[in-house]
Chain A
Amino acid sequence: MTDDYVLETRELTKEFKGFVAVNKVNLKVRRGTIHALIGPNGAGKTTCFNLLTQFLPPTRGRIFYKAKEITGSKPSAIARMGLVRSFQISAVFPHLSVLENVRLALQRKRGGSFDFWRSERILNALDDRARELIASVGLSEFEQTIAVELPYGRKRALEIATTLALDPEVMLLDEPTAGMTHEDVGRISALIRRVAQNRTVLMVEHNLSVVADLCDHITVLARGEILAEGDYATVSRNPEVVQAYMGKGYA
């Protein structure tokens, strides 16, 4: 039943000038799960995300989303189908307010925003929904703050609120807790658990306690290839995985 899998790749491969960053990856993400993609630095995780969302064209291989092939689609079209990514480096609109950041995502659901002759005041109709989303990630007091001035952890929360505004079926999160303080990590992982209740999450995560705590299924990537797959207990017992992590001096 391919229908169990919301996202699937076949022999997905990406070469950069002869260097194989992602090699024949067959990834299957089950609908409604939190799926982790882990592996040492340079394993090709971010590249995988870029391929899945077509920010980079694959060299070979195919990508299926909801049993439909999306290889070669435009990245913006893929986002509109409900497969929405975040970025490893925080992706906010730095010089817009928190409210405007979230509203931009809500605005997209109006359809195209090509109406350059209308006043932006019509967007005020989205404010209530935007405030709800902002409250849901604990940013209410920062609503009017310019995003660039938020502390790092709050920026990531804003990013998640913005992504959630699109109500995506599948969320791809690239290292959502990287560089965060301990409390922020706790807050963000609680948030991810909550938002994953009615959607699928595929996340790259280095913090193994977060992975153990949150994720139903884990795929380990090393040198562009899938090294192991399974739940946390299975994967953490795999000697090759331990080797790959120790060998790279993984912290």
Chain B
Amino acid sequence: MNDPAGAPALSEIAIKPLKHVNGAAHRWVAFIVMVAFFALAPTFIYPVFLMKVMCFALFACAFNLLLGYVGLLSFGHAMFLGIAGYAAAYVAKEGLNIEAIRLGTIHIPLNIALPPFTPELAILTGVLAAAILGYVAGLLAIRRQGIYFAMITLALAQMVYFFCLQAPFTGGEDGIQAVPRGKLFGVIDLSDVKAMYATVFVIFIGGFLVIFRIIHSPFGQVMKAIRENEPRATSLGYDTDRYKLIAFVLSATLAGLAGATNALVFQLAALNAVHWTMSGEVVLMTLVGGLGTVFGPVVGVLAVLGMENYLAQLGAWVTIVQGAIFVICVLTFRRGIVGELARWIKKPL
């Protein structure tokens, strides 16, 4: 199966279950361990760090939905994380004030004047922005294969980056700062760390379960077929472009959920979230954790961010150490942490 001339196929790196397993008891165990960890960890780990982990874990899971299960390498996923963050931060801080839309000579008066959004509506706005951007980017990228797909997503993400740098409402280099967390449903004050933590926890677990369901749905089955052998899926009568587009939009939307939540946690929407290095980092985190595994991205994020956090005193060396670990990962256990674990227990995780 190895193509000696090129890199291993994506499906090669992804987990290969040895047997088809119907009972999923071990997955429930893994899920409960994960839930318990994030429920109990704030007693001994800095909660803000954990909230960052959960936001990025959701981001990586959304990315993995595309790369690990459809076989599409998007190298611009930061655009969804970032745009959702900006949209959520903006409406949470400023509300929405649009007097009119001018399209050439057409003038549509709107007179929208909304006060700052509550957090759930701000997040919804961010998610919506990511979904729309996902649809547009997907339409442009989906017809291309392999490296061309990655290049187009990267190019689009760069355009979004410059848009965020230049647009009047994104705050340029400063970003949107001091975003109020506000009151959830107008009731629960999120400036309380415990309330904010609980909210992020629910969003993360909810998003994780949605992704789990997508993977294990009739649609998910077709996604895997496309990853495994797209021409064959086509020859069975599946219009693969449509499936890929829907998967792309779902992935972008969930990445947006992560980005919007992240902006509220840090009360900040800034350029680093739309920068191409962010797109690279999510690839790294997913590969380290285990591409095409359900839990891999979560573990990968924990490993990478943990490393960043505890190696912070090394300064610029963090990047180098990270790079070295990435190389070691790819060379020695290319299925990632969870991928190797799953292989060891001979069950998909």
Contact = CB atoms under 8 A, between A and B. Distances in A.
A97 interface: yes
A85 B237 CA distance: 10
A186 to B, nearest CB: 26
B11 A104 contact: no
Contacts of B236: 79, 84, 104-105, 108, 162, 166
A91 B225 CA distance: 11
Contacts of B18: 146
A53 interface: yes
B240 A76 contact: yes
Given A55-B231, A76-B239, A148-B1, A116 B20 contact: no
Interface band, chain B:
35 or more
A123 B221 contact: yes
Interface string B319-345: 000000000000000000000000000
A145 B238 CA distance: 24
Interface stretch (B210-218, B255-263, B307-315): B210-218
Decide if the interface of chain B is mainly helix, strand, loop or mixed. Answer: helix
Contact of A75 (B16, B218, B235): B235
Interface in A123-145: 123, 144-145
A104 B242 CA distance: 17
B213 A100 contact: no
B237 A119 contact: no
Most buried by B among A84, A85, A116, A119: A116
B20 A100 contact: yes
A92 interface: yes
Contacts of B1: 94, 148
Contacts of B232: 87, 91-93
Given A95-B11, A95-B228, A114 B235 contact: no
B246 A116 contact: yes
Contacts of A91: 229, 231-232, 235
B219 interface: yes
Contacts of A182: none
Most buried by A among B11, B213, B228: B228
Interface of B: 1, 11, 14, 16-20, 213-214, 216-222, 224-225, 228-229, 231-240, 242-243, 246, 250
Given A91-B232, A96-B225, 14 more contacts: A55-B234, A77-B237, A86-B235, A91-B229, A93-B225, A93-B229, A94-B1, A95-B11, A95-B224, A96-B228, A107-B218, A113-B219, A116-B214, A146-B19
27 contacts: A76-B234, A76-B240, A77-B237, A87-B232, A87-B235, A91-B231, A93-B228, A94-B11, A103-B221, A104-B221, A105-B236, A107-B221, A108-B236, A108-B237, A110-B218, A113-B218, A114-B242, A116-B217, A116-B219, A116-B246, A123-B218, A123-B221, A144-B19, A145-B19, A146-B20, A148-B1, A166-B237
